[in-house]
Structure 1
């Protein structure tokens, strides 16, 4: 009898989509009224189930709706998405998603996620051009010689810098660009691809989990909770430092074991396949010439400009994609690549990441099913009722698990913040703790589940590295449990001290 293989990422997501479609037949449909701000008219739009009304954009209007958020958070643009209005949940007639809706969901998801999909495809094109120039081979060979005997520095630098990006400006989707570049470097250092995957993905996850100034999570969530985002900052900084340190030590421990004995690798059976896929550049004979150095500089500047644009200029996917397109064209000119060869190579590079792009689209399709089936708000409504009568310690840990669970249905951090904070943060008042504790529980719960959340970025990341979800779970679950215990203890202490 043939050994059963763990299904691919696409199949896992389609199975989850089918289960969610089934849920829409079981879970009652319901929806909260929403409020959005119109800057052009300086009014609030109230969208209910049966009517749409407009009210004056004043603090009094917000207070009347039991929304404890300062008016300037709307007028300044800090909150730009519609938010749920507390105490407005209403049950609706069921809108179950059938076979036809299930089939259409991935297509709708791909259309909705087109911005990030194009970013991924253009990154693939740029990587293809870089591979053609030989700059990667020369640069990786040079780095392998420089780090010889001190390869662990690579793990520390990559994990820390990416986690720093995560905690400051929400570096997450952008890390997809790093895998094809960094995996060959880690392989040249005699580590396996799992170490590269962990350094990048865990770095991003731990950074966004323990966000300190990230506008897409801590700031927007604090605004939606009606508190200053600096409240609780010292505790979050400590959590970020300790959490990042735990993750780095965990990765180094595994990496040193693999370096000493490659057969200890969780993905040892794929060693040859992965090395062939990403190339063995350790013994590259390509010399790092001035032209290749310039190409590597232009390539690196694409990421510097992207990071600056996202963190300082409010850039998003269109601007980021444009940077990678311009970078590819510039590198083509410097390397004197013929126009026809450039186009063919760019298209081939983009096609190499098409599978990853489809995974992102299918994952978004699951959210489409839940929204169309009107069960997302129902999940939130029941979650808000679970904590009634709990003491401080139990309440805040229940919030941690509630947010972890809700993130399966709402994987977007900013989306989660504006939809849930007006409903869940006032519950903190009832148990006598600060609302910043709920903001922290939101971050930590979402962040912790992101390590393994199939509707998040992990399956797309695994697809690039060609590592199965089962192998990833085997690697990461001990760390998840360690961080879970640490986070629960920290949350409990924070509400009693």
Structure 2
């Protein structure tokens, strides 16, 4: 992925007041240890999960003070970090392998080719363009958690939108709405829903079809918002939120966007591999090991079909994996927070305190409360996988105590993480894509805020619906 750097001769930009994600999580690890000296140690009684699930289930009402409260050494938070990395090793290796394979797919030209072909085919109508690309990008986020991979495509989208007398806000809306909706409703995303379901003791990809329905409805909401804006600025270009920005230079179409048979075959292999994994997860209990295997096969076949030089393919794979280092570290550091809370025996105390706040509100309000917690958390931990490891160990037992199904707790995490992915200023991806599209952050917030309000209103309805009709939609524990 191309990096974004300041041009030579330009004054250095003033640093924002938001801390880097790794710094923030490291600080939370320290805070977790400090809390272990303040919060009384306690624990719940637990029983084995029902057949077909793994882990233990909290026994509601069984919280009691720990008989022997541990006292952590001052340097315990440092030892917790390598233990967190070790604990999350399966997910970390998955992140590296997926990153390498996605890099091979992009190097083959297949992704750029199918995007340009779709945009050209839909270009006769803004509605078809917006709807088609929303589905295209959204499917990538829904299935394998694509997001960073879309950044290099921004110049293509902006160029096509400008040619249709639209603006860069429309291009960014297409990308970020599909990305946010895809993550918020994902059914097979290995960086989000699969991690959360694993922590919650749920079978991977369970509840898939209800999430597909949510995905389509949320895409319709996003389409209405973007299309209404597009029609407004086509009728009156002065209404554009970026009418004052110069787009006369820097948005050229890539030279090689031919949708050749080798690229078609590569995309078929990719789609076929994802479908095969979904089937295996639902019928044979496949998970991380099998997903890694399938992605490696996709990468090898991509290099073979594209006739890449083995050495070049190796460098591309390593480069793609290297770009995921930050995400991998965030996952391990985030897991270290749980390690410290568990070692200090205060995680159950925190759960019990939160449950007490929600006591008497009923499962409806508890589900909405979970959505609020996850939404706020994502402003500080924009990594979906990192957030899952921080919050789901607390939300999963809390669901047992408040009468909320584990699937609903996972869905609350997905909504809180995915939708706010469109706007969080702590996300390097948000800031980077806006920079590529020459969109001021304030103007982007003006455009996306009404959309977020619509999506969160629907999310609240969906959560309450899942509480009352979970058994009919595959959301009952």
- Could you report, residue by residue, the CA deviation over 1:186-233 in whole angstroms, capped at 9, with x for unpaired residues? 45544545642331232330457xxxxx99989998999xxxx99xx9
The 1:387–1:15 alpha-carbon spacing in structure 2 relative to 1, beyond 3 Å, is closer
Contact in 1 for aligned 2:113/2:257 (Cα 8 Å): yes
Partner Cα distance (1:315, 1:262) in 2: 51
2: distance between equivalents of 1:103 and 1:460? 24
1:103 counterpart (74, 78, 91) = 78
Change (3 A) 1:283 1:463: closer
Q: Residues 215, 175 of structure 1: CA spacing in aligned structure 2 closer, same or farther, 3 A cutoff?
A: closer
Mark the CA change 1:18 to 1:11 in structure 2 (over 3 Å): closer, same or farther: same
* Cα distance in 2, alignment partners of residues 377 and 271 from structure 1: 58
Q: Does 1:34 align with 2:46?
A: yes
* Residue matched to 1:334: 305
- What is the CA-CA distance between 1:377 and the residue it aligns to? 1.4
1:410 and 1:361 map into 2 onto residues whose CA distance is 11
**Partner residue in 1 for 2:401:** 423
Where does residue 308 of structure 1 map in the other structure? 279
Matched, 1:196 2:163: no
User: Contact conserved, 1:360 with 1:460, CA < 8 A, in 2?
Assistant: no
Deviates more, 1:244-253 or 1:142-151: 244-253
Residues 1:286 and 1:471: Cα distance change in structure 2 (over 3 Å): closer
Q: 1:379 to 1:194 in 2, by over 3 A?
A: farther
User: Is 2:6 aligned against 1:3?
Assistant: no
* CA shift digits 1:298-334 (9 cap, x unpaired): 2333333333333444321221121111111112222
Q: How does 1:16-415 map to 2 (within 5 A)?
A: 16-36=28-48, 74-75=50-51, 77=52, 79-92=53-66, 93-95=68-70, 100-150=75-125, 152-153=127-128, 155-157=130-132, 159=134, 171=142, 174-175=145-146, 179=150, 186-187=157-158, 189-190=160-161, 191=168, 192-193=171-172, 195-206=174-185, 243-250=218-225, 252=227, 264=241, 282-388=253-359, 396-402=364-370, 404-405=372-373, 411=388
SS of equivalent residue, structure 1 residue 104: helix
Q: CA deviation at 1:147?
A: 2.4
Give the CA deviation at 1:387: 4.1
Is this contact kept in 1: 2:273–2:294, CA < 8 A?
yes
Distance 1:133 1:8 in 2: 33
The question of whether the paired residues in 1 share the 8 Å contact of 2:151 and 2:433 is answered with no
Query: What is the CA–CA distance in structure 2 between the aligned matches of 1:271 and 1:308, rounded to whole Å?
Result: 48
1:30 deviation in Å?
1.4
Preserved CA contact (<8 Å) 2:36 2:341: yes
Once the two structures are superposed, residues 426-455 of structure 1 have per-residue CA deviations (whole angstroms, 9 ceiling, x without a partner) of xxxxxxxxx7xx77864564344224789x
Q: State the 1:85 CA deviation.
A: 1.7
What are structure 2's unaligned runs of at least 5 residues?
1-11, 162-167, 188-192, 378-385, 435-439, 469-477
- Contact 1:162–1:200 (Cα < 8 Å) also in 2: yes
Q: Alignment length, in residue pairs?
A: 418
TM-score by length of 1: 0.65
Q: Does the CA contact (< 8 Å) of 2:140 and 2:146 recur in 1?
A: no
Contact residue 122 and residue 325 of structure 1 kept, 8 A: yes
Q: What is the deviation of 1:97?
A: 5.6
- My pick for the range that moved more, 442-451 or 359-368, is 442-451
Q: TM-score, normalised by structure 2?
A: 0.67
Aligned-residue CA RMSD (Å)? 5.0
